[in-house]
Every structure is written in C-alpha cells, then in structure tokens.
Amino acid sequence: MNVLIGHYNYWIVIFLMMAGLYVVIAQGNLVKKIVGLNIFQASVFILFISMRKVEGGTAPIVTQGVSLYSNPLPHVLILTAIVVGVATTALALALVVRINEAYRSVEEDEIHEQDQSF
C-alpha cells in the first residue's frame, strides 16, 4: 500500500511517460506526435521536481527566520530542460509547416505514399 500511495508522484510520471510515448508512436498526424513528445518531456520534468521537494521546505531564497529550504538544483536543471523542450517544439513545428508546404499534407501515411512514388 505504501508503494501505491507514498510514491504517487512516480506513478503519475510513469503514466504520463507511457502516454506520451504511445502518442508519438501510434499517431499518424505529425502535429499530434509533437504533442506526444511534449507530454513525454513533461513527465520527466515532474520526475525531477517531485524527487527533490522537501516537505515543509520553502522556496530556496535566503530569508530571515527560515531554515528549511527546497533543493534549488533540480529546479535550475528543469528550467534549462524546459527551454530545450521549447526550442525542440518550435523546430519540430517549423519542420511540419515546411513539410505541409512541400507535401500538401500532415498525415504520415500520405507523406509515405508520395515518397514511394519517387
């Protein structure tokens, strides 16, 4: 029981990760795949942040009268990873726009058909 309730954050992470991966693999629409990738990356962010949240700790900025802080390092790492995720999403969407102009479609099977007839 402790595994189920005490580690509920890890269960959420696993659920989101699998959902994201499923969308990436199973969806045919290129834009929906990008959404799946975002869900996958978001699950990793939650993993990092929930790992290091100290119960009762406050934001890691030195103030008077507070002695228990949350660990600031994972937050910085996730901030960087979020920026990387934003850049990746922007790049993927730019590619989809150009693919749409070149192939007149954003469905994976239609694009494969057009390529086979090369």
Catalog residues that contact other proteins under the rule CB under 8 A. 21, 24, 30, 33, 37, 40-41, 44, 47-48, 51, 59, 61, 73-74, 77, 79-81, 83-84, 87-88, 90-99, 101-103, 111, 115, 118
CA nearest neighbour of 74 among 38, 40, 44, 96: 44
Distance from C-alpha of 74 to C-alpha of 97, rounded to nearest angstrom: 34
Q: Which is nearer to other proteins, 28 or 98 (CB)?
A: 98
DSSP state of 53: P
Amino acid identity, residue 55? E
